[in-house]
Structure 1
Amino acid sequence: MGNVFVSVKDLELAKQHDYKWIDARFNLQNPNEGLTLYEEDHIKNAVYWNLEKHLSDMQKNAGRHPMPDKEQLKTLFEQSGLQQDQFILIYDQGGSPFATRAWWMLQYGGFKNVKVIQEGYQALRKAGFKTTSEKTIVASTQLEMNWQDQLYTDRDGVKAIVDGKEKRTLLDARANIRYRGEEEAIDKIAGHIPGALNYDWEQLIENGYLAPNDSLLDVVSKDEPITVYCGSGVTASPLYAVLKEMEYENVQLYTGSYSDWITKYEVEKG
């Protein structure tokens, strides 16, 4: 069992009731798909977290999947019946950025015992974990939060890095063609945040699930402070998670990411 990921084969079926389950399945092209899948079938006792309803504040103007504020996240955690010392397991469809987004939010909230199911939902089903189509009803909890503010940064924090006021390495998780500014189908301006390096998060998908990749070591070393970003803060989360799995110490996430940066600042190409 790693720092972030746990394989289905390392979980005990008999302990299913002891685990707190979060279903984070989603589809960026079809935002309703995750909830539809959850309503059809999910791990018994799992609560559903939707990327756009729960793990983003879509009313904010801070990129395509803006960071929820602390009060919103605290409410989500409490309404999901979470306790700070529980063993929490998160799954999505596997090889996706949604479970890691949820995992990162819980890290930010100071939860210590949270793991992402490496192979995703179907592997849990296949291994015999009980599933149901019934919505999970949980009793709300009351939490004393222990926010880990060093894990998060905003546009101003990234500007300080670009201006050389803070020494951190910016790491862009998008495809290289978008990073270089040669192609941009989503954002209005093509390019990348000045000075950023690039590591396409999809290089971390192996046999359909996320896994450490030693090629990361050629791009960033373990002793440098790193700030990861992508287009909207979603696909940066698997890169963040794998860096932590590989025991990189000082990593933070720019949740607003490129879609937030370009609303105010210049970009680089090439």
Structure 2
Amino acid sequence: MSVFKQVTKEQLADPKIRWIDARFSLQDPEAGRRQYDEGHIRGAVHWDLEKDLSDMTAKGGRHPLPSRDRLTALFRKSGLRPDDEIIVYDDGGEPFAARAWWILQYAGFRNAFISLEGFGGLEKLGGDIEQAAPAPAPTSVEPEWNESILAHKEDVADLTERPGEGLLLDARAAERYRGEVEPLDRVAGHIPGAKNFDWSQLASDGTFDRDGEAAGRLAEMAGSGEPVTVYCGSGVTAAPLFAMLKEKGIRDVRLYAGSYSDWIEDGDREVETGNTGSGDGL
């Protein structure tokens, strides 16, 4: 399954391709929209992590998935159709385009890709830049939801109770996985039985390295054929792990959208600290 796309000049000029600008900053949530307003690929719509790709009023972790109705409304106002070729970009080597791409996969858009180039790379390649937001003709698209790639808290709880029936991968930095530091959540540690693979190892120089050593190690970790469930702090940085696993041909992969912040939300789930899952990225 091809996930990442090395964009060509011809694709940048193709009016049939639908572009999504997913730039965002966790440190400055308004930065992505400011960047978009300052200039974006012609025809690109902007999908904001917290306003479009999350429901910040809901339970289910720090970046809960929006309802199906809200996502359907987003797809329709963005002018998307089931067979469209869709390319999503952020600043390159970041998790935000991967989050948008995963949501498109969840909704059944099978011809969607993550641009290997960030906005700057697309601009250098000759992308036509505009400031005005486009007004695509709304569609009446009906998503074909794929529940097989979404894991819920109960699914993850089953994994912790039946070790050996699936691989649980924590995409956070190793020190957060081990519980040595926790800058965001009230409880430090990781979900019992999880192994660690820091998602940021997959990126370098503003792009994801599909053929790099880190991507190879990730594929090797997941290559036994057992189902894989990826998570992070809030479901955002786990998306690059999901995307790279699919790029590497791993078929049975789910993303725990609520992730660790959802796991600890009600205070009724156990956590572990230290290198209990061995794994990688340590």
Normalised TM-score (structure 2) = 0.92
Distance across 2 between alignment mates of 1:5 and 1:75: 26
Matches within 5 A, 1:54-203: 54-164=52-162, 167-203=165-201
Structure 2 match to 1:269: 273
Query: Within the alignment, does 1:224 sit opposite 2:226 as a pair?
Result: yes
Q: Using a 3 Å threshold, how does the CA distance of structure 1 residues 62 and 141 change in structure 2: closer, same or farther?
A: same
Describe the SS at the equivalent of 2:260.
helix
Structure 2 match to 1:6: 5
Q: Using a 3 Å threshold, how does the CA distance of structure 1 residues 79 and 221 change in structure 2: closer, same or farther?
A: same
Listed as ranges, the gaps of 5+ residues in structure 2 are 275-282
Distance across 2 between alignment mates of 1:165 and 1:182: 24
| 137-146 vs 194-203, greater mean Cα deviation | 137-146
Contact 1:222 1:248 in 2 (8 A): no
Contact 1:199 1:219 in 2 (8 A): no
Distance across 1 between alignment mates of 2:50 and 2:10: 29
Structure 2 match to 1:205: 203
Instruction: After TM superposition, give the deviation of residue 261 of structure 1 in Å.
Output: 0.2
Contact 1:20 1:88 in 2 (8 A): yes
Query: Within the alignment, does 1:233 sit opposite 2:235 as a pair?
Result: yes
Normalised TM-score (structure 1) = 0.96
Q: Using a 3 Å threshold, how does the CA distance of structure 1 residues 138 and 14 change in structure 2: closer, same or farther?
A: closer
Distance across 1 between alignment mates of 2:18 and 2:224: 32
Contact 2:219 2:245 in 1 (8 A): no
Q: Using a 3 Å threshold, how does the CA distance of structure 1 residues 37 and 112 change in structure 2: closer, same or farther?
A: same
| 221-230 vs 91-100, greater mean Cα deviation | 221-230
Q: Using a 3 Å threshold, how does the CA distance of structure 1 residues 186 and 41 change in structure 2: closer, same or farther?
A: same
Instruction: After TM superposition, give the deviation of residue 73 of structure 1 in Å.
Output: 0.8
Q: Using a 3 Å threshold, how does the CA distance of structure 1 residues 29 and 97 change in structure 2: closer, same or farther?
A: same
Structure 1 match to 2:279: none
Q: Using a 3 Å threshold, how does the CA distance of structure 1 residues 115 and 217 change in structure 2: closer, same or farther?
A: closer
Amino acid in the other structure paired with 1:183: V
Instruction: After TM superposition, give the deviation of residue 168 of structure 1 in Å.
Output: 1.8
Contact 1:24 1:91 in 2 (8 A): yes
Count of residue pairs the alignment pairs up: 268
Give 4+ residue runs of structure 1 displaced > 6 Å after superposition: none
Contact 1:92 1:99 in 2 (8 A): yes
Distance across 1 between alignment mates of 2:176 and 2:226: 25
Listed as ranges, the gaps of 5+ residues in structure 1 are none
Structure 2 match to 1:30: 28
Contact 1:194 1:267 in 2 (8 A): yes
